[in-house]
Amino acid sequence: MEIDLGANAFGIDFHPSQNLVAAGLIDGHLHLYRYDSDSSLVRERKVRAHKESCRAVRFIDDGQRIVTASADCSILATDVETGASVAHLENAHEDAVNTLINITETTIASGDDKGCVKVWDTRQRSCSHEFNTHEDYISDMTFESDSMKLVATSGDGTLSVCNLRTSKVQSQSEFSEDELLSVVIMKNGRKVICGTQNGTLLLYSWGFFKDCSDRFVDLSPNSVDTLLKLDEDRVITGCDNGILSLVGILPNRIIQPIGSHDFPIEDLALSHDSKFLASTAHDSMLKLWNLEEILEGSNGNSGNASGAAEDSDSDEDGMDLDTDRPKSSKGTKRKTKSKSTALDSTNNFFADL
């Protein structure tokens, strides 16, 4: 099923328990849609969330609120039931906010176009951590809950690992000579997978972040703009040729195509029951793919279930071994999201409205 949003969507997210999907649009609007298996998407709400483009969307508080981040440097919390703004931070960052992720039930992280990463305590409504490691925009982030480490990728061509227990940057990779656009953690925390602008997937072993341990080039030359982890052995890739692919990791292989758009993929999300995959692209379309039907009968149930060899990478699984921070270099091309005028930053989280 699909629907024309009327404008390009930069960010999408599924409700954690209900059949709802949210989309943040380039014109600053937030759309909320209800779906089921037998009918089309039905819009339940449309909210003018931001003055400029809405770049990232996340459900928080067990789905009671939606947090959005914008090129206008602000972060907004919207009530799902009423559509009312419940909290607002106008000056969340000094530059456009490019990405948002949930960390715990009470913390989120945001990254901006200058390379700054902030962690927010939603109970205290304050910034609890701030990291200024990168020299270019934060393209994506993911979180390793057992070790309390936040992994970020940047347009400067490096990956960073920030320790939330010590409030220090644990490690930063060497310059990869290409922008890192997306990141996921797989293989039960042993591998970090990064998508790049030239289409290569870089595989890093946990604890050894200076340089990648493996490369997968079969998606090249199409940039891997977004990654979505399906399980510990499989990841869904979204590329600038509009193709969605299911990719196996160690052994590395393209398992099968999932679907396509006519333009570059912008974001991917997985429903609460893992039945539906949502995708957006530069064609203003929101598409929901029934993964159960697509994957039924395929050979790629998992990396090992198909009889493939186990991960043969010989790196140790040690933690915290890569602590020196090399000087990063600027990437050569920025993602095509409009940039806003920088505002004064603040460490207050949401001011009640």
Q: Does residue 350 or residue 218 have the better pLDDT? A: 218
Q: Which helix (H) or strand (E) holds 75?
A: strand 75-79
Token pair belonging to 313 = 């990478």
Residue 158 lies in a domain: yes
Q: How confident is the model at residue 175 (pLDDT cuts 50, 70, 90)?
A: very high
Q: pLDDT of 14-55, one tens digit each?
A: 999 999 999 999 999 999 999 987 778 999 999 999 999 999
- Residue 277, C-beta contacts closer than 8 angstroms, at least 6 positions apart: 228, 236, 244, 258, 259, 268, 269, 270, 271, 288, 289, 291
Judged against a pLDDT cut of 80, whether residue 340 lies above it is answered with: no
In a domain, 308, yes or no: no
Residue 182: inside a domain: yes
- The pTM (predicted TM-score) of the whole model is 0.86
DSSP string of 161-222? EEETTTTEEEEEPPP-SS-EEEEEEETTTTEEEEEETTSPEEEEETTB-SS-SEEE-TTTTS
The label of the residue with tokens 């790629």 reads 300
Q: Is residue 347 part of a domain?
A: no
Task: Look up the domain containing 255 and give its range.
Answer: 2-287
The closest alpha carbon to 173, from 155, 190, 191, 153, belongs to 153
Q: Tell me: cis bond preceding 257? Omega within 30 of 0 counts.
A: no
Is residue 137 within 8 Å of 10, Cβ to Cβ?
Answer: no
Residue 177's pLDDT is 85
SS3 16: coil
CATH number reported for the structural domain that contains residue 191 in this entry: 2.130.10.10
328 lies in some domain? no
Q: Is residue 168 domain-resident? A: yes
SS3 label, residue 62? helix
Q: What is the pLDDT of residues 225-262, one digit of tens each?
A: 999 999 999 999 999 999 999 999 999 999 999 999 99
Number of domains in the chain: 1
**What DSSP letter does each residue of 259-309 carry, written as one string?**
EE-SS-EEEEEE-TTS-EEEEEETTSEEEEEEHHHHHTT-S-S-TTTTTPP
Mean pLDDT of 194-200: 97
Give the list of residues 6+ apart from residue 122 with CB closer than 8 angstroms, or none.
60, 61, 106, 107, 108, 349, 350
Q: What angle do CA 226, 230, 235 make, to 5 degrees?
A: 50
Does residue 187 lie within any of the structural domains? Answer: yes
d(CA 216, CA 228): 16
- Interatomic CA distance for residues 100 and 20, integer angstroms: 19
Task: Give the C-alpha separation, 237 to 254, whole Å.
Answer: 10
The residues near 151 (Cβ < 8 Å, ≥ 6 apart) are 141, 142, 143, 144, 159, 160, 161, 162, 183, 185, 192
pLDDT digits (tens, 9 = 90+) for 104-157: 999 999 999 999 999 999 887 789 999 999 999 999 999 999 999 999 999 999
DSSP 83: -
Question: Does 98 reside within a domain?
Answer: yes
